[in-house]
C-alpha cells in the first residue's frame, strides 16, 4: 500500500488511482504516529462512498497506544466482501452500519464496548457467510444475540485462561445455589446464535462464558474444543457444553475434545464422530454410541478411553452403519483390549485404521501385534485393517 500511494503522488492523473485497488491492508507500524495514520485513513477517496472497487480490507492496530475510532465510510462500503479488524482495545463502532456485500468478517483481540453496536455489526451484513471472532473480550456484555440470516460458518476462539486468572477474574466459580445449574459468574456473557443457513460451528473456548445455538436443521458439522485447565470448573463447563451441544444435535459430523462431559444429547443424524483425546467415562462412551444410531465413522486416540465392554445391548450403529474406525496414538499392549471390544461388536465394519505411537514401537512387538490382531474374533464379514500404513486383509473369524 505504501508504494502504491507513492506512485499516485507522481501525477495528478494518478491521484485517485488507489481507489481502484481492490485490496486494502492498513498496518499501523508503517506510520510514524497515530495522527499520520488517522490522516491517511480519513484522506479523500480512500474508503469514501465513491470508492467502488475495495473488496478486501485488513486493519491491524497495535503499535501506537490510544483508542482509535474507525471511520464511518469503512462500515458503509458497498463493495466490501471481506473485512478483518485486529484491534487490541475497545472496538468503537459508528451508530450506523451497512455492509450489503460483506461475506467474511474476522474480528481479533478486540473488546466489545456494548451490546447494541456489537449486535448491529453482526446483523448489518445481510449476505454474511463466514464470521470469526478470535481472542475478543466480552466483559462489557451480559447477553449478545447474533442474527445473520445467510451465515454458514461461525468460529469462536476465546482466551484459555489458567486457574489463577479464573479465580481472580472472569472465570471464578460462585457457590452453586441451584440444584440443576452451576452459578454463572456476573462478568460472564451469554451469546445466542441464530442462523437459518448455519452449516458449521467451531468453538475453541474454556467456556468461561455461555454460548448457545438456537436449533438449526441446516447444521452439518461442529468442532468443540474445551481446554481443561481448572478442575474446579468441571461442573460449570459440563453444563455449558451440554447446552451448547443440544443446539447442534442435528449435525452429521462432530469433533469433540473435553474431559468435562458427564451427559450428552442424542445425535440422530450423526455420521462421523471424532473423540480426539477425550478421557470419557465408560458409561458416557456407551451412551454416546447408543444415541448415535446412524454413525458411520468413529475416530479417537488410544489410552485415553476407559473401554471395558459394550454390554448386553449392542449400539444400533455397530450392527447397521459403522463401517470405519480410526485409532491414533495407540499403545500396542495397553490398548489391545479396545480393539477386542470393537471387533467383537462391529458387524458391518469395513475398514480399521491403526496408528500406534511410533516412538514406542519395540523390536519384535510390531510383528507380534499384527499376528495377535488377526487372531481376534471379528463379527464383520469382510474387514480391511491398515496397521502403520500397511494393509492387512482379514476375513470374518466368527
Quick one: the chain helix, strand, coil %, rounded to 5?
Answer: 25, 25, 50
Predicted confidence band of residue 144 (pLDDT cuts 50, 70, 90) = confident
Angstrom distance (rounded) from CA 327 to CA 369: 15
Q: Which is it for strands 23-27 and 153-157: parallel, antiparallel or unpaired?
A: unpaired
Nearest Cα residue to 56 out of 23, 21, 19:
23
pLDDT of res. 145? 83
Write down which residue in 151, 173, 203 finishes a domain: 151
Dihedral pair phi/psi, residue 338, rounded to 5°:
-65, -45
Q: Output the pTM of the full model.
A: 0.80
pLDDT tens per residue across span 246-265: 989 999 999 988 776 777 88
The residue-averaged pLDDT of 24-28 equals: 65
CB 359 within 8 A of CB 377: no
**Res 365 pLDDT > 80:** no
What's the CA gap between 34 and 207, in Å, rounded?
36
Asked if residue 274 lies in contact with residue 300, where contact means CB atoms within 8 angstroms, the answer is yes
Judged against a pLDDT cut of 70, whether residue 47 lies above it is answered with: no
Confidence grade of residue 52 (pLDDT, cut at 50, 70, 90): low
| Mean residue pLDDT across the chain | 76
* 199 falls within a domain: no
pLDDT for 307: 58
Residue 264 lies in a domain: no
Is 396 contained in some domain? yes
pLDDT given at position 397: 46
More confident site: 395 or 299? 299
Mean pLDDT score, 109-131: 90
User: For 124-153, what is the mean pLDDT?
Assistant: 88
Q: What is the pLDDT of residues 288-336, one digit of tens each?
A: 889 999 999 999 876 555 555 566 678 899 999 999 999 887 766 677 7
Per-residue model confidence (pLDDT) at position 14: 41
- For the cut 90, the answer to whether the pLDDT of residue 268 exceeds it is yes
Q: How would DSSP label each residue in 143-208?
A: EEEEE-TT--EEEEE-----HHHHHHSTTPPPP---SSSPPPPTT--EEEEE-TT--EEEEE---S
User: What would you report as the CA-atom Rg of the chain, rounded to the nearest whole angstrom?
Assistant: 26
Residue 301, pLDDT score? 78
Is the residue at 245 inside a domain?
no
Query: Which grid cell is 180?
Result: 440443576
Task: Report the percentage of the chain scoring pLDDT > 70.
Answer: 66
**How many Cβ atoms from other residues are within 10 Å of residue 364's Cβ?**
8
Please, which residues have CB within 8 angstroms of residue 312's CB and are 6 or more apart in sequence?
none
Nearest one of 279, 137, 155 to 209, comparing CA atoms: 137
pLDDT for the residue numbered 271 = 97
* Sequence-distant (≥ 6) Cβ neighbours of residue 150 within 8 angstroms: 126, 127, 128, 129, 197
Q: Which residue has the higher pLDDT, 215 or 349?
A: 349
Q: Alpha-carbon distance 101 to 79, whole Å?
A: 6
Backbone phi, then psi, for 12, in 5-degree steps? -65, -30
- Which cell is 274 given? 471424532
The per-residue b/e assignment along 253-264, b for 16 or more CB within 10 angstroms, e otherwise, is bbbbbbbbbeeb
In a domain, 227, yes or no: no
Q: Give 11 or 286, the one with higher predicted confidence.
A: 286
Closest CA to 170 of 230, 252, 250: 230
Contacts of 124 (CB under 8 A, 6+ apart): 75, 97, 98, 99
pLDDT over 50 at 34, yes or no: yes
Cell numbers given for 365: 512387538
Cα–Cα distance, 361 to 13 (Å, whole number): 70
Q: Does residue 214 fall inside a structural domain?
A: no
Residue 217 lies in a domain: no
CA 225 from chain centre, in angstroms, equals 7
Q: What is the pLDDT of residue 48?
A: 53
Over residues 370-396, the mean pLDDT reads 76
Which whole number is the average pLDDT over 24-51? 59
Q: Which of 105, 126, 151 is the last residue of a domain?
A: 151
Average pLDDT over residues 222-226: 91
Angle at 304 between CA 301 and CA 308, to 5 degrees: 105
Residue 215 located in a structural domain: no
pLDDT value at 227 more than 70: yes
337 in Cβ contact with 356 (< 8 Å): no
Domain that holds residue 398: 302-398
Which pLDDT does position 167 carry in this prediction? 43
Q: How far is CA 303 from CA 235, 257, 298, 322, in A?
A: 24, 15, 16, 21
**Rounded to an integer, what is the distance from CA 164 to the centroid of its chain?**
25
The pLDDT tens digits of the residues spanning 179-192 come to 344 444 434 678 88
Q: Who's near 270: CB < 8 A, 6+ residues apart? A: 251, 252, 253, 254, 292, 294, 295
Please tell me the total count of domains within the chain: 2
Split at pLDDT 50, 70, 90, the class of 168 is very low
Asked whether the predicted pLDDT for residue 130 surpasses 60, the reply is: yes
The residue among 97, 130, 151 that closes a domain is 151
Confidence of residue 171 (pLDDT cuts 50, 70, 90): very low
The count of residues in the chain is 398
Amino acid at each position: 500500500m505504501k508504494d502504491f500511494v507513492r506512485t499516485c503522488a507522481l501525477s495528478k492523473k494518478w491521484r485517485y488511482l488507489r481507489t481502484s485497488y481492490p485490496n486494502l491492508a492498513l498496518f499501523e507500524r508503517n506510520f510514524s504516529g497515530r495522527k499520520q495514520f488517522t490522516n491517511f485513513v480519513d484522506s479523500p477517496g480512500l474508503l469514501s462512498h465513491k470508492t467502488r472497487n475495495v473488496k478486501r480490507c485488513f486493519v491491524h492496530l497495535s503499535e501506537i497506544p490510544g483508542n482509535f475510532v474507525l471511520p464511518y465510510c469503512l462500515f458503509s462500503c458497498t463493495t466490501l466482501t471481506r473485512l478483518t479488524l485486529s484491534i487490541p482495545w475497545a472496538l468503537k463502532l459508528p451508530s450506523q452500519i451497512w455492509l450489503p456485500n460483506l461475506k467474511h468478517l474476522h474480528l481479533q483481540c478486540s473488546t466489545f464496548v456494548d451490546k447494541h453496536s456489537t449486535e448491529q455489526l453482526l446483523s448489518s451484513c445481510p449476505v454474511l457467510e463466514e464470521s470469526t471472532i478470535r481472542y475478543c473480550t466480552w466483559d462489557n456484555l451480559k447477553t449478545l444475540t447474533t442474527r445473520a440470516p445467510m451465515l454458514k460458518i461461525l468460529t469462536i476462539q476465546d482466551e484459555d485462561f489458567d486457574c489463577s486468572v479464573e479465580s481472580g477474574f472472569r472465570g471464578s466459580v460462585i457457590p452453586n445455589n441451584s440444584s440443576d445449574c452451576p452459578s454463572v459468574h456476573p462478568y460472564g456473557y451469554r451469546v445466542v446464535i441464530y442462523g437459518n443457513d448455519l452449516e458449521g460451528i467451531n468453538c475453541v473456548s474454556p467456556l468461561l462464558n455461555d454460548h448457545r445455538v438456537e436449533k438449526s436443521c441446516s447444521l452439518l458439522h461442529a468442532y468443540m474444543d474445551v481446554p481443561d485447565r481448572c478442575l474446579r470448573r468441571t461442573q460449570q463447563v459440563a453444563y455449558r457444553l451440554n447446552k451448547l451441544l443440544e443446539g447442534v444435535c442435528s449435525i452429521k459430523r462432530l469433533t469433540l475434545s473435553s474431559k468435562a462431559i458427564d451427559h450428552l444429547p442424542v445425535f440422530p443424524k450423526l455420521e462421523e464422530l471424532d473423540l480426539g483425546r477425550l478421557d470419557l467415562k465408560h458409561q458416557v462412551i456407551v451412551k454416546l454410541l447408543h444415541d448415535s444410531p446412524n454413525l458411520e465413522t468413529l475416530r479417537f486416540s488410544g489410552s485415553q478411553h476407559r473401554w471395558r465392554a459394550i454390554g448386553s445391548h449392542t449400539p444400533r450403529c455397530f450392527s447397521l452403519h459403522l463401517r470405519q474406525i480410526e485409532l491414533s496414538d495407540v499403545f500396542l499392549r495397553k490398548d489391545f483390549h479396545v480393539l477386542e471390544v470393537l471387533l467383537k461388536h462391529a458387524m458391518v465394519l469395513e475398514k480399521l485404521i491403526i496408528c500406534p505411537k511410533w516412538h514406542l514401537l519395540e523390536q519384535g512387538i510390531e510383528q507380534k501385534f499384527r499376528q495377535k490382531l488377526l487372531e481376534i474374533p471379528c463379527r464383520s464379514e469382510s474387514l480391511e485393517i491398515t496397521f502403520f500404513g500397511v494393509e492387512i486383509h482379514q476375513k470374518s473369524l466368527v
